[in-house]
Structure 1
Amino acid sequence: MRTLDPEVVETRKRRVLQWVIQRYIQNSAPIASQAIARDGEFDVSSATIRSILKDLEAEGYLHQPHTSSGRVPTDKGYRFFVDYLVDVQRLALDEKERIRREYYRRAEEIDALLAQTSHTLSAASRLAGFAVSPQFKEHEVQRMELIRLGPGRVLAIAVTKTGFVRHWPIRVDADADAGQVEALNRLLGGISEGRTFRELNQILLSKLDGIDQDFEKLKGMARLLVQELARIAHSESLYFEGASNLLALEPPEGFLQGPGNRPLRAVLGRLEDQKRFTRVLEKQLHKEMKAMSKSGGKKVRVRIGLETEMPELKNMSLVTSMYRSRDNMMGLLGIMGPKRMEYSKMMALVDFVSDFVEQTLKKWENQKQ
């Protein structure tokens, strides 16, 4: 009896696995051995196909939902498919042009840019798109000022050199007048430009002791500003669009289960879950920054099922990319969708949008210089 070269056997198994996953992504139905033998063009017998499927199931790449049904990919199978994906699609020229037009029309500042990014990713993928702005503690401030809104209320506005704008209300002593606000603005004007939020916070703290006791209200306002700066510096924003696309998916993708068997609608709708999702993305961003610094590899990453580190997303995948400005890692953007997604197209879409965001940020930087 002739024994096949083990390398030939492994190559054949990989080809069958790739074919099965691609067909499942297209049709969402378990793949039977008869369909592989009929449509797969592998030039082997049905018995050989069945043997290969049993091996792939034993190795954890496929599983059989029911004894009478075909096979479907496991997370390990999807991971193999993504890692060996060489045929990454290029976006059609008309799709690229449509994305460019949307950005030029609507993205006038960076917050609008990220909101538009999540919208574009969702619309182009027909899934959910998201973008995460970075924490601000290391961003250099271009301008910062306070505006008195009325008794006991002041609005703080900060503009970073990378184009982010943050404004937030501060509750102050009801007797704080316009003159005191202006005095604090003069102090900020002399120390804020070119400083990071972290540095600005430290400088303000050091200057608190130097404020005369006769200006106790001014000192109190400055102390409140220090507290708010510390909070804002460590906060980030999540721009998320396309939840309705996920809810429209057929089960099991459309009804992910969370703690207490809460459906996806509740997971997406509750603020604490969105914050948790943001923290997961921030953690992923830091991991990818380390990986990029070591390998200088590709920006696009895929997280499948429990690789997302959120049990609620066990039936989903995340396709993500970092975006940068002036060689600094700024944030993360990407697509959330079912594990049965068109990875090639989604990876190409995320890669293109990430490049476009970086080009836009670079253009803004050049305009400021």
Structure 2
Amino acid sequence: MSFPPIRPELAGIEPYGAPQLDVPVQLNVNENPYGPSEACLDDIAAAVCEAARDLNRYPDREFSALREGLAAYLNTDGGVGLTADNIWAANGSNEVMLQLLQAFGGPGRTAISFAPTYSMYPEYARDTHTTWVAGKRREDFALDIDAALGLIEAERPHVVLLPSPNNPTGTALPHDAISVLCEALGDEGLLVVDEAYGEFRREGTPSALELLPTHRNLVVSRTMSKAFAGAGLRLGYLAADPAILDAIRVVRLPYHLSTVTQATALAALRHADELLGKVDELRKERDETVGWLREKGLQVADSDANFALFGTFADRHAVWQGLLDRGVLIRETGPDGWLRVSIGTADEMNAFKNALTEVMKEQA
């Protein structure tokens, strides 16, 4: 037997991760290009300093103040009467999803989604011994409701994972689709709508948070990594029926959110208006980028996120490499022939456009 004695199904698997390369323009992991202001940084520093006085003690394992702050914020962005009893948080939305599958997935249980979608979902299923089944989206990347209902009827899944906007396509879910799927699942399964990019949705696109009072089997997750410019904070959270939170408490690790994390997140929430102030600018830059790509004769998926999926290319890796050679890093992900670019500052997007123009001329 080889060493170390790893689980057989994990042997030889490469760990998840986007390339981390030192290049001038990094547009590959959907980060917010605008960092916190000095005022926000000062508040965070003061909050962490105060919290550090009690580092000899375990943190509040219920992170009550943070849950209250997150509920108040969500009630300004689609939530309806949410309280701390509806809110759960963890170290990034990745841990939120893992905890959901630890509690509601597992051996003999099934989770489904519809490809193309977030590449970590099947890994959460694998790590929790949950059977993973992936259906297909339509050619325009929208969800095929009839096909989705058919897969639910065939598999009777315990968890359905659907990002809205979808990653890597940017496609949002309509409210009627969410309601239909919740009703089809009934009390046998949860519908998890992953709104990691929810704050970037276009005007008129509603949040699934609005439907929480109607469907007790609906879970809506968010993150502070994107619109809140807190990718380094690692704070994801969800809103759901309190009974769902009680189930998660059974599987969570003790004191999983550190005192420092809680203090930092609360300070960031105090500066929500400022941190979210660049969202409109990024939306505008996204829409201009989508228009420019289409003018170049490329296909672009309609996006409600802070990225754009575009193509198609006979050799997408050559395009990716050509951009990298010019100091621009984007993501080689999604269906064959497609690439994804995160939306950066105006200067970064100009650098991307200039580099892509040169690469496309070379390959013409």
Fold agreement, TM-score > 0.5: no
Richer in helix (by share): 1
TM-score (normalised: structure 2)? 0.25
User: Considering only CA atoms, is the larger Rg found in Structure 1 or Structure 2?
Assistant: 1
